[in-house]
Structure 1
Amino acid sequence: MDRFLIRNNKKPNDGTQNSEPAPKKKKYDESSVKVRRYLSEYLGLGFSATKSDPVNAQCVLCGQVLANSSMKPAHMNRHLSTVHPSHVGKPIEFFKRKQEAFASNCLEIAKVASVSSKALRASYAVSYLVAKQKKPHTIAECLILTALVKVSEIMFDTKTATALQSIPVSNNTISRRIEDIASDIVMQVIEQIKLTKMFALQLDESTDVSGEAQVIVFVRYQDCSDIRENILFCQNLQSRTTGEELFKVIDKFFAEGGILWDWCLSVCSDGAAALTGKNNGLMA
């Protein structure tokens, strides 16, 4: 036995050895991390303060940002001497001018990259027309915007035509706008259903041109003194087209939207067996 312990670098336990477990390592506590403050003297090293929380140091020459934990004069001196050696020893007035120029450039970039509110509204209006006419999304950029620019040049002036060119109507932009509009319409319908707490459903299970099964749910509800009917949602069926799967899809949508089944007054369908079956159908 002693030979086995010696061969495996183990010592026999004679009762005197401490058998207490090793102390656990302390967990990392973010609250104990020291947050460094930006000092005005750091501008003499070519670094200004960012508007983030916590504050970081940003080089006014190249725009590189140092983390808050690296906001030390030694790190700033190393960056200045290695990346910008020609500016070592420059007075603080030089870096102040660089800071003003850097801030001005950032404002110009933000101004160019931003879209005005009128151009944004026009983009949504064009996207809504494209969706209503069921046209390809590329028609907005290839035809609609081009026609607007040409008409403006003829009827008005070049300045108006240039302003129209700032309207974002690319293929991807139109797709995102249509998705936003559709989501907003669904939210409006859900909010109206929550107000009236009465609605009726019409269900249709079919396949699209690619052969994928879909369930379309229409809803009829009261809006003030009028009865309105809208498409509540259309969703692909990932698995089988049984009544149980159809019910799961509708029930999940109701749960996410906060709609209760107690508010449903009636349900009608297209007569499919999966919907009207008295034993396993969705009605059951």
Structure 2
Amino acid sequence: MDRFLIRNNKKPNDGTQNSEPAPKKKKYDESSVKVRRYLSEYLGLGFSATKSDPVNAQCVLCGQVLANSSMKPAHMNWYCAPFSCRNCLEIAKVASVSSKALRASYAVSYLVAKQKKPHTIAECLILPALVKVSEIMFDTKTATALQSTPVSNNTISRRIEDIASDIVMQVIEQIKLTKMFALQLDESTDVSGEAQVIVFVRYQDCSDIRENILFCQNLQSRTTGEELFKVIDKFFAEGGILWDWCLSVCSDGAAALTGKNNGLMAWIRKKNPKVKWLHCIIHRQALPSKRMNAHLHKTLNEAVKVINFIEARPLNSRMFKLLRN
């Protein structure tokens, strides 16, 4: 047991003996640290600036703030181009959609728009029905692949807008090639009180005459001929369409459209005096009614009053059906 009682010959360092002092730490020399200055060119690399002092670079995709030592163009370019950042890479993987799923999304959106159905029908009915049919007819793997098709409400809305814009651009390109077209337009107020102008265009495509809707826009203020002309002329200016290519305009006999002084045709003829005006075939019955025989005209008015009375209320319509049966 004696060996356990043998003390170390070294004297304890209690602070009273001659112990070697601890080496002093070097003071932090702030002047030796190089602080990089944020440049506006870093926006091209995908980085915005923070409000801290000193200013650091912040990734615009994931929001991560880089250290001062990483604010080199080479480091920043490697960090975020293309999606080299770990956070951005995860976002890109989640947001990536296969080409087949993208084509399927556009195809479904086109069907929804063609059938004039609500945008939510794709997510609530079409996709679940496809998944269920695939599970029954094929296998679970096929049904799982179908679930990756983006058909949400906002997605369908964006797809329809893209399809509509592409169709309008194709029509504009055809008009520019032929440099001859005719317009058919009308202005009306819907049940919500919004004034809208809809314009159809007829042009020659190779050896065939085609007719497509050109645009439909709301009128912000009045429905005068001048306001109608401003809307159409703005669309023509943005699309690069010249009024000299317009051959004729078809509309009803409203004063805002056919007025000699302030009507739409008066403004159009200021741009192209050779434009011809045609009365719409749907409203042509209004023209002979103005010059009809007095007795026949009275009979026609009575018939119109009877029809308006029947269609004015649902009860009148139901009673008329019982009377007819």
Superposition TM-score, scaled by structure 2 size = 0.58
SS in 1 for 2:6: helix
Q: Do 1:205 and 1:272's aligned partners in 2 also have CA atoms closer than 8 Å? A: no
Q: 1:13 to 1:38 in 2, by over 3 A?
A: closer
Q: After alignment, is 162-171 or 6-15 more displaced? A: 6-15
Q: Do 2:61 and 2:88's aligned partners in 1 also have CA atoms closer than 8 Å? A: no
- CA deviation map 1:182-233 (0-9, x unaligned): 1111010001100100000001111122111111100000111110000100
Q: Which has the higher contact order (CA 8 A, sep 6+)?
A: 1
Q: After alignment, is 133-142 or 9-18 more displaced? A: 9-18
Cα distance in 1 for partners of 2:16, 2:38 equals: 56
Deviation at 1:273, TM superposition (A): 1.2
Partner of 1:129: 111
Q: 1:30 to 1:279 in 2, by over 3 A?
A: farther
Q: Do 1:217 and 1:231's aligned partners in 2 also have CA atoms closer than 8 Å? A: yes
Cα distance in 1 for partners of 2:258, 2:24 equals: 63
Q: After alignment, is 103-112 or 205-214 more displaced? A: 103-112
Q: 1:160 to 1:39 in 2, by over 3 A?
A: same
Cα distance in 2 for partners of 1:208, 1:266 equals: 27
- CA deviation map 1:17-39 (0-9, x unaligned): 99999999999999999996999
Q: 1:192 to 1:74 in 2, by over 3 A?
A: closer
Q: Do 1:203 and 1:215's aligned partners in 2 also have CA atoms closer than 8 Å? A: yes
Partner of 1:141: 123
Q: 1:207 to 1:66 in 2, by over 3 A?
A: same
Partner of 1:19: 19
Cα distance in 2 for partners of 1:35, 1:125 equals: 54
Q: Do 2:62 and 2:88's aligned partners in 1 also have CA atoms closer than 8 Å? A: no
Q: Do 1:274 and 1:280's aligned partners in 2 also have CA atoms closer than 8 Å? A: yes
Superposition TM-score, scaled by structure 1 size = 0.66
Q: 1:263 to 1:5 in 2, by over 3 A?
A: farther
Deviation at 1:164, TM superposition (A): 0.4
Q: 1:64 to 1:243 in 2, by over 3 A?
A: closer
Cα distance in 1 for partners of 2:241, 2:22 equals: 55
Q: Do 2:184 and 2:200's aligned partners in 1 also have CA atoms closer than 8 Å? A: yes
Q: Do 1:47 and 1:58's aligned partners in 2 also have CA atoms closer than 8 Å? A: yes
- CA deviation map 1:44-74 (0-9, x unaligned): 9999999999999899999833277974999
Cα distance in 1 for partners of 2:120, 2:247 equals: 42
SS in 2 for 1:185: helix
Q: After alignment, is 120-129 or 20-29 more displaced? A: 20-29
Q: 1:250 to 1:48 in 2, by over 3 A?
A: closer
Q: Do 1:5 and 1:12's aligned partners in 2 also have CA atoms closer than 8 Å? A: no
Cα distance in 1 for partners of 2:195, 2:2 equals: 74
Q: Do 1:213 and 1:241's aligned partners in 2 also have CA atoms closer than 8 Å? A: yes
Deviation at 1:279, TM superposition (A): 1.7
- CA deviation map 1:159-200 (0-9, x unaligned): 000000001111111111111111111010001100100000
Cα distance in 1 for partners of 2:9, 2:236 equals: 66
Which structure 1 segments of 5+ residues have no match? 78-101
Q: State the identity as a percent.
A: 98
Q: Do 1:120 and 1:167's aligned partners in 2 also have CA atoms closer than 8 Å? A: yes
Which structure 2 segments of 5+ residues have no match? 78-83, 266-325
Q: Do 2:62 and 2:87's aligned partners in 1 also have CA atoms closer than 8 Å? A: no
Q: Do 1:5 and 1:11's aligned partners in 2 also have CA atoms closer than 8 Å? A: no
Q: After alignment, is 199-208 or 2-11 more displaced? A: 2-11
Q: Do 1:2 and 1:12's aligned partners in 2 also have CA atoms closer than 8 Å? A: no
SS in 2 for 1:7: coil
Partner of 2:197: 215
- How many residue pairs get matched? 259
- CA deviation map 1:242-280 (0-9, x unaligned): 111111110010001000000001111122110011121
Cα distance in 1 for partners of 2:173, 2:18 equals: 68
> Rg: which structure is higher?
2
Cα distance in 2 for partners of 1:139, 1:118 equals: 21
Partner of 1:264: 246
Partner of 2:48: 48
SS in 2 for 1:52: coil
- CA deviation map 1:79-131 (0-9, x unaligned): xxxxxxxxxxxxxxxxxxxxxxx967754542232111111110110000000
Q: After alignment, is 8-17 or 166-175 more displaced? A: 8-17
